[in-house]
Amino acid sequence: MDQVISVIQRLEATSQHKDRVGQSLLILQSILLPSSSSLVNDLVQFGQYFLSSSSPAVAIGRRVLSAYTIALCGGSGLDPKHVLSLHDAVGPDNVQFEHLGEEAFKGENGREKRGDILERLQLMNVRSGWHDEQTTVLRYLHAHLLQEEEDWEGAAKVLMNIPLEGGTRLVGDEEKLSVYMTIVRLLLECGEWGQAQTYFTRASMLIHLTNDKTTQLSYRLAQARIFDFSARFNEAAQRYHELSFDKDIDEGERMQMLRAAVITSILAPSGPQRSRSLTTLNRDDRLPSLTPALTVMLRKMLLESIVRPSELHTFEDLLEPHQRAIVEGGGTVLERAVREHNVAACAKLYSNISFVRLGEILGYDETSNHTSQTTDPIDFIETMVRRMIEQGRLRGWMDQPRHLVYFEDREEDEEGKQVAGGLGVVSGEQGIGPVSWTERWDGRIRDVSLEVDRLAGVVAMRHGIKVGG
């Protein structure tokens, strides 16, 4: 290795430009020969010399480093479009160096050797300069190798270091968009949706400039997944369902989109938008092809039927890790959605119910481990019901001394849709105005009087009794 470096350094004293380029390329060729016993170390030192030294002339360094980069990419599987820009700098020799690189890295350890070289070059610490074209290709190669190892976060960080603004390269909008969308995809793969949102915002400013269907499709899918990760389930369900009809996606992938649409619609906050989403999905002819647990849960949510604990656990097994996040107040997003859905479902079956019985139906009783040790199950149920009544998602009132909740008749909204149980508060819902005890008492007396009058009329008709003058 010392001999290689010393030869390169002696070239600095050579006055002939042509000789300096030729001798540097000969050194690179000798390193790439199959008989080389120190391939990795020699290539690392050779690359570091031209990336960090300020002594090589720009013309010499650009050509030699381009040949070096082409050799590293040879046979790697990297998209050839990334390397095309270097061919002019190397000239006719580019094919030779590509072949030398392919031969040098043949074998089982070829990918590991390439990755080791790129790691030791420390490309993240290389500043922008005359070699931006070459370092950009090396970063594309490094990200490609990391993706093959499924190191999504590492690949994303490498791509983040590509100078897309302010460097010596002229970067087109198509390339910027491609890099941004690749970073978004990689960050979503490793669950870093916060960072993904940043790069998705940058991509949003450029997406209108492309007509490439693959890029547009990737953008729409990334948007749906970001909505999903950020718990904006209504928007995610809508985007997933739209994608499930796209003919450019394979049939199997379209069914996965439909599956994701069903899951996110079930997890969505209550309100008219969620009800419309559930109704639309229930009408989808492809729904029976999905797992029965999905269709059962969707229809129970739509029809406001009580969801049993066994059905909840079966459905929960289908969720992604980020959809099982613990929410404020205890439990997962799904558990809280089902809890409040079941309270609303009970309102269709009961005129009134005790907190104890309601807790049994919801799976919260004295032996339950859902609530914290410091929270009494009855207090927990009372708090949840009170919040739903205050937020206008449940019509009723509570008798706290007797631990009872009374349900009132619910009217349909202007669109004729009942609001399913869920998580959030929708501004369009009609709240329940304050009702005094006197008004409530008068209302019940009126209801009883009307019922007595109705029964008296039935008895009179059956026995032929004439009522009135």
Give how far Cα 199 sits from Cα of 183, 208, 224, 225, 407, Å.
7, 16, 15, 14, 48
Q: How confident is the model at residue 5 (pLDDT cuts 50, 70, 90)?
A: low
pLDDT at 244 over 90: yes
Altogether, the residues listed in the chain come to a count of: 469
Highest-pLDDT range among 159-163, 270-274, 463-467:
159-163
pLDDT at 424 over 60: no
Q: Which two tokens stand for residue 196?
A: 């993904």
Mean pLDDT throughout 237-250? Answer: 95
Q: How confident is the model at residue 423 (pLDDT cuts 50, 70, 90)?
A: very low
Give how far Cα 366 sits from Cα of 63, 359, 373, 384, 385, Å.
77, 9, 10, 17, 18
pLDDT over 90, % of the chain: 38
pLDDT (tens digit per residue) in 326-337: 776 667 888 888
Q: Which two tokens stand for residue 213?
A: 């269907």
Mean pLDDT throughout 241-257? Answer: 94
Q: Among 434, 250, 270, which residue's Cα sits nearest to residue 343?
A: 270
- What are the boundaries of each domain within the chain? 1-151, 256-266+273-423, 436-469
The alpha carbon torsion through 259, 261, 262, 264 (nearest 10 deg) reads 120
Give the residue carrying structure tokens 């006055």. Answer: 15
How many Å is the Cα radius of gyration of the chain? 34
Model pLDDT, residue 219? 96
| Residue 307: HSE in the Cβ half-sphere, 13 Å Cα cutoff | 33
Give the residue carrying structure tokens 């990689």. Answer: 186
What letter represents residue 389's amino acid? I
- Tell me how many helices (H) and strands (E) the chain has: 21, 3
φ and ψ at residue 141, rounded to 5 degrees: -65, -45
Q: 433-453 as b/e, with b when 16 or more CB fall inside 10 Å?
A: eeeeeeeeeeeeeeeeeeeee
Q: Among 349, 314, 353, which residue's Cα sits nearest to residue 334?
A: 314
φ and ψ at residue 67, rounded to 5 degrees: -60, -40
The C-alpha atoms of residue 197 and residue 183 are separated, in whole angstroms, by 10
Is the CB of residue 301 less than 8 Å from the CB of residue 279?
no
Model pLDDT, residue 437? 59
Q: How confident is the model at residue 427 (pLDDT cuts 50, 70, 90)?
A: very low
pLDDT at 429 over 50: no
Q: Which two tokens stand for residue 162?
A: 């590509």
Q: Among 45, 48, 28, which residue's Cα sits nearest to residue 20?
A: 28
Is the CB of residue 68 less than 8 Å from the CB of residue 50?
yes
At 332 the three-state DSSP class reads strand
Highest-pLDDT range among 30-34, 72-76, 344-348:
72-76
Model pLDDT, residue 165? 82
CATH number, span 256-266+273-423? 1.10.10.10
pLDDT over 70, % of the chain: 83
Give the residue carrying structure tokens 């978004």. Answer: 184
Model pLDDT, residue 426? 38
pLDDT (tens digit per residue) in 383-421: 888 888 887 778 888 888 888 898 886 554 434 343 333
Model pLDDT, residue 35? 66
pLDDT (tens digit per residue) in 258-293: 999 999 999 987 767 888 999 999 999 999 999 999
pLDDT (tens digit per residue) in 448-458: 888 888 888 88
DSSP-H helix ranges across 33-122: 39-52, 58-73, 84-90, 94-104, 110-120
Q: How confident is the model at residue 309 (pLDDT cuts 50, 70, 90)?
A: confident
pLDDT at 199 over 90: yes
Mean pLDDT throughout 197-223? Answer: 94
Q: How many CB atoms lie within 10 A of CB 376?
A: 11
Mean pLDDT throughout 339-354? Answer: 85
